[in-house]
Amino acid sequence: MKTILMFGALIVTLALISYSIAVLSERKKRHITKSILSFLTIGIILDITATICMIVGSTNSPFTLHGSLGYSALTLMLIDTILIWKFYKTYGFNFEVPAKLHRYTLIAYSWWVIAYITGSLLVMAK
């Protein structure tokens, strides 16, 4: 496996950890805190970095089934992060997360985890 792909795999795993901390904390607290916002933002940065590494290191077209799944998952998490930042800018920290945003966060995160697992399964199948 190419070094850049191994680096991308490490980075995407760090993104999974960061997203998981943010989303599971938000689910438990039902409020946005500095740490939740930080872990979510770090997750996006890591996810974008990992995606770039995967595109650069792959010999496949970036428009595969897994690629489309990954790009859509990244897009959902980016939208979630933007929405949470928007609520933070409006209400500050420790505001109660609206039910619709709370649900969207879970859906976006679940879709992202599915993309992560399918990528892992594809690597293991090779």
Q: Write out pLDDT tens, residues 59-91.
A: 888 788 889 999 999 999 999 999 999 999 999
Q: Say if CB 77 and CB 113 are below 8 A apart.
A: no
- The SS3 assignment for 31 reads strand
Between 22 and 30, residue with greater pLDDT: 22
Q: What was the pLDDT predicted at 11?
A: 97
Number of domains the chain contains: 1
Q: What was the pLDDT predicted at 81?
A: 97
What residues make up the domain containing 75?
A: 3-125
**Is residue 94 predicted with pLDDT exceeding 90?**
no
Residue 74, token pair as written in the block: 């990244």
Q: What was the pLDDT predicted at 1?
A: 72
pTM above 0.85, yes or no: yes
Mean pLDDT of the chain: 93
Rounded to an integer, the average pLDDT of 95-116 is 95
**Is residue 126 predicted with pLDDT exceeding 80?**
no
**Percent above pLDDT 90 for the chain:** 76
What is the rounded CA–CA span in Å between residue 85 and residue 88? Answer: 5
Q: What is the pLDDT of residues 24-33, one digit of tens each?
A: 999 999 889 9
Q: Say if CB 32 and CB 97 are below 8 A apart.
A: yes
Confidence of residue 43 (pLDDT cuts 50, 70, 90): very high
Residues in the chain: 126
